[in-house]
């Protein structure tokens, strides 16, 4: 865990989905290190409770919310619980996601629905649930995890994932445009393949071939992504909205 160089988020309340592991965990740790209180959301209850416990032991006001981001009632209940607990939500980071690998010829309707529901509908549901209170308070920071696969089509990732992550980009730009007058920024982060449980769905040979195409010569670490998110949710990025921030060691440049 990177400690962060400053406490830019003192007094802020952040909700981070996918916080039980991988990028979401590192993001939660980084926002906590910068001073934010944390509502942690994931479907892995035990792991999430352990994360909340560790953060609380280090002095962060943290609560674990077990929910499936693709289930509207569960999302609404989790956001209501977080809002009641902290009085408000300033920051939303949507990192919950799943990867499947089927191409367009092999992808079943079930795989399509599952992957789009978690990655794209989940992002929509969380944003829809938090936006009214952000609008009312004229302040909000939203960061959605897309992927270089959402920009250029994936190299190894499946068609449903690539399409969902592309959807996350246009969804993010749409809310950025609509809610800029309300003091709300919405940005996306586009990591390249990461050194996380999701990234390790690929074989060692596949990962080696991917790394060979990355100018910086390595995979994205969770801390690489957490640092980018911490910037986007801070007031250093108050005038940055609708941005698609690449965190990929130079693999995609546009």
Catalytic amino acids? 161
Minimum distance from residue 95 beta carbon to ligand NAD (Å): 4
Q: Could you tell me how many residues of this chain bind ligand NAD (CB under 6 A)?
A: 26
Cα–Cα dist 167/80, whole Å: 26
Question: Considering the rule CB under 6 A, would residue 49 count as an interface residue with ligand NAD?
Answer: no
Task: Work out which of 98, 127, 142, 143 binds ligand NAD, going by CB under 6 A.
Answer: 98
Task: Work out which of 13, 14, 15, 20 binds ligand NAD, going by CB under 6 A.
Answer: 20
Pairing of strands 13-17, 37-42: parallel
Secondary-structure percent of the chain, ordered helix, strand, coil, rounded to 5? 50, 15, 35
Cα–Cα dist 9/34, whole Å: 5
Question: Considering the rule CB under 6 A, would residue 120 count as an interface residue with ligand NAD?
Answer: no
Question: Considering the rule CB under 6 A, would residue 69 count as an interface residue with ligand NAD?
Answer: yes
Residue 148 CB partners (closer than 8 Å, separation 6+): 154, 190, 191, 192, 246, 248, 251, 252
Residues 170-189 contacting ligand NAD, CB under 6 A:
none
- Residue placing its CB nearer to ligand NAD in the complex, 139 or 168: 168
To the nearest 10°, report the CA torsion of 241, 146, 94, 158: 160
Question: Considering the rule CB under 6 A, would residue 223 count as an interface residue with ligand NAD?
Answer: no
DSSP type of residue 167:
H
Residues binding ligand NAD (CB under 6 A) = 18, 20-24, 42-44, 68-70, 95-98, 118, 145, 147, 191, 193-194, 196-199
């Amino acid at each position: 865990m990177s400690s962060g160089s400053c406490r830019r988020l003192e007094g802020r309340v952040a909700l981070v989905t996918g916080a039980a592991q991988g990028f979401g965990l590192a993001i939660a740790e980084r926002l906590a290190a910068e001073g934010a209180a944390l509502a942690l959301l994931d479907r892995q209850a035990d792991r999430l409770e352990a994360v909340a416990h560790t953060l609380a032991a280090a002095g962060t006001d943290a609560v674990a919310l077990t929910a499936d981001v693709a289930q509207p009632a569960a999302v609404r209940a989790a956001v209501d619980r977080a809002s009641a607990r902290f009085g408000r939500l300033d920051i939303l980071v949507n990192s919950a996601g799943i990867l499947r690998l089927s191409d367009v010829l092999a992808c079943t309707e079930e795989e399509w629905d599952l992957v789009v529901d978690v990655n794209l509908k989940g992002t929509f549901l969380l944003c829809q649930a938090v936006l009214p209170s952000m609008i009312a308070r004229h302040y909000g920071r939203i960061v959605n995890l897309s992927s270089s696969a959402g920009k250029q089509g994936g190299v190894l990732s499946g068609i449903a994932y690539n399409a969902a992550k592309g959807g996350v980009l246009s969804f993010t730009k749409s809310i950025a445009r609509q809610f800029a007058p309300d003091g709300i920024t919405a940005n996306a982060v586009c990591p390249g393949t990461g050194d996380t449980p999701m990234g390790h769905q690929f074989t060692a040979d596949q990962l080696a071939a991917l790394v060979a195409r990355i100018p910086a010569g390595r995979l994205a670490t969770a801390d690489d992504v957490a640092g980018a998110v911490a910037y986007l949710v801070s007031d250093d990025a108050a005038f940055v909205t609708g941005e698609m921030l690449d965190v990929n060691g130079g693999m995609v440049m546009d």
